[in-house]
Structure 1
Amino acid sequence: MMKKFTVLSSLILTAAFAAGCAAQTKTASTSPSTGSAATAAATTAPAAQATAAPKGVKKIVVGTGTQFPNICFIDDKGNLTGYDVELVKEIDKRLPEYEFELKTMEFKNLLLSLETNKIDFIAHQMEVNEERKQKFLFNDEAYNIFPNKIIVHKDNNTVKSIDDLKGKKLLVTATSNAAVLAEKYNKEHNTGINIVYTGAGEDAKSLIKQGRADASISTQFAIDFVNKSVDAQLKTVGEPLSNSKVYFILRKDQEELKKKIDEAVKAIKADGTLGKLSTQWLGADYTVGS
């Protein structure tokens, strides 16, 4: 029997998203919360009513986002999809003892939601850093690897690497690994980059196109996607700032769930499913070497 897969949304992006649901996916509705702050991209709402898991099956709430192109985003039919989303669904199929439920939220809220037990693990291309390792548990089996690079407007020929950003405005998403990379580089090289924190990656891309910012940090596959989908007019420059392996993040008391996820990811790699998902969503097999 096919397991029911539920999507809980704490972001109402568009009318299509609020109403949309895929054939095999149940979408729980939400209502606006009082006193919450609206952003340009999304409106925060309280957690949706979770459906009960079948007897003997443990409910697992998976935190993800909606604004990372090809990773976790809303398609033109209003459905939550992307590489991380479809991988979570595949893992769910292979772990009959669990029923996964995707809950969307702003990126900046993911780690706090994990820490406060509102979600059970995060699927959002999360990279390891020392601050995260102190608080959380990462699974062992990386599910992809990608290079982080400086991105600029396609007509910008003065910025060829991060060294050329002295005194210029570099946009990064708050709490992201891109922010950690930029802060570390500024500290170690005394570069004087003006690091500006934004709420979402889409903000950075639009601000660069409008000439209101000089650069950001992203991946080639994300830039290829936004250039095609919204004519972002961006390009990557310079050598990779890092080649990042990405993992799921759990709480430190979730060793058993971590073990099961690792077993599933290894199997998904071994039978070629992970490589196919990467090629489908990212344009190439970024699981090589992960």
Structure 2
Amino acid sequence: MKRTARTPAIFGILAVTAMGLTACASTADAADSAGETGSKGGVQTVLVATGASPKPYTFLDKNDELTGYDIEILKQIDKKLPDIEFKYEVADFPALFAGLDSGRFNVVANNLSATDERREKYDFSDPYTEAQFGVILKDGAKGTDSLDELAGKRTYGEPGLNFTRVLEAYNEQHPDKTINIEYTELDLQSQYNNLAAGGVDFLFNERVVYNGYGGKANLGLEFYPLDGKYLTENFGTNLFSAYAFSKQRPKVADVVKQVNGALAELKESGSLKKLSEKFFDGVDVTPKN
């Protein structure tokens, strides 16, 4: 079922296509036909796409309204930029990149790592998150501080996600002792539930996602952090998340510049930290380095 939600902080309509229906296509088409990033009355309409997962970065709340750390930052940015109006559309994760490639979507807000590979195809904002990755195991299991100790074990992987790419990089480097990645479209809560039930041996994720899906659910799981330098130097992991912008739109650099200016103001005023603490149970995930 397609659901439409309205958010008072945003002008216009929030188009949601969670189940693949196409009633929201008119919103994107309107932006496409307007030229540049879409405009009306001198205001540029910028179409932001998100997968509405993982929580708390981006999700639909109990009232079916789009929210989350990534989204609320953009709402705050929107207030600071009178010449730009963000509109939102929910799509399946793989469709987000196809939309950026074609220019259908102007921006993707989905806790994306700004990897070198992605930077070749898309423009990125300044980072707004610095992540801590780790391994999630059942209580009582032997902890780990290296992916080498997970060889032969089974886990879930979602194509295209940074977590999965790290595990794939490990397997490429260790063809004789690989990690068994089962590619899945299961939602995150189901993945954590299955780990607790013994369906897989571990999950590889970041702490705040674990807190939302594993810790709060009291599933008897434990998070073991991995050293960020170890992940970065060995697997090219990028621990910083940013907004991705389609290069198919004219003047995209100007939009990125305005977004970065507003983002810097939010960080300087402490508003970014407050949003982080709100969505991550008091944890400050804003970039420190």
Tell me if TM exceeds 0.5.
yes
Please list, as runs of the form range in 1=range in 2, the aligned pairs for 1:1-290 lying within 5 A after superposition. 12=2, 18=3, 21-24=6-9, 27=13, 43-46=19-22, 48=24, 49-50=26-27, 54-139=40-125, 141-157=126-142, 161-190=146-175, 191-199=177-185, 200-227=187-214, 229-240=216-227, 241=231, 244-252=239-247, 254-282=252-280, 283-290=282-289
Match of 2:110, as an amino acid? H
Q: Percent of aligned positions with the same letter in both sequences?
A: 25
Q: How far is 1:182 from its partner?
A: 0.7
Q: Would you say the 8 A contact 1:150–1:161 is kept in 2?
A: no
Q: How far is 1:170 from its partner?
A: 1.9
Match of 1:171, as an amino acid? Y
From the superposition, tell whether residues 112 and 47 of structure 1 become closer, same or farther in structure 2 (CA, over 3 Å).
farther
Q: Would you say the 8 A contact 2:16–2:89 is kept in 1?
A: no
SS in 2 for 1:224: helix
| Deviation sequence 1:7-27 (CA, Å, 0-9, x none) | xxxx74xxxxx3654455565
Match of 2:286, as an amino acid? T
SS in 1 for 2:96: helix
When the two structures are aligned, how many residues end up with a matched partner? Answer: 264
Distance 1:29 1:286 in 2: 28
Distance 2:286 2:154 in 1: 32
Distance 1:174 1:279 in 2: 29
What stretches of structure 1 of length at least 5 have no aligned partner? 1-10, 13-17, 32-41
Q: What's the RMSD between the two structures over aligned residues?
A: 2.5
TM-score by length of 1: 0.81
Q: How far is 1:121 from its partner?
A: 0.9
Q: How far is 1:77 from its partner?
A: 2.7
Q: How far is 1:81 from its partner?
A: 1.0
SS in 1 for 2:262: helix
From the superposition, tell whether residues 28 and 22 of structure 1 become closer, same or farther in structure 2 (CA, over 3 Å).
closer
Distance 1:212 1:129 in 2: 31
Distance 1:63 1:57 in 2: 19
From the superposition, tell whether residues 193 and 119 of structure 1 become closer, same or farther in structure 2 (CA, over 3 Å).
same
Match of 2:199, as an amino acid? R
Distance 1:138 1:82 in 2: 19
SS in 2 for 1:67: coil
TM-score by length of 2: 0.81
Distance 2:220 2:106 in 1: 37
Distance 2:254 2:148 in 1: 44
Distance 1:196 1:106 in 2: 19
Distance 1:186 1:116 in 2: 31
Distance 1:280 1:238 in 2: 22
What's 2:35 paired with?
none
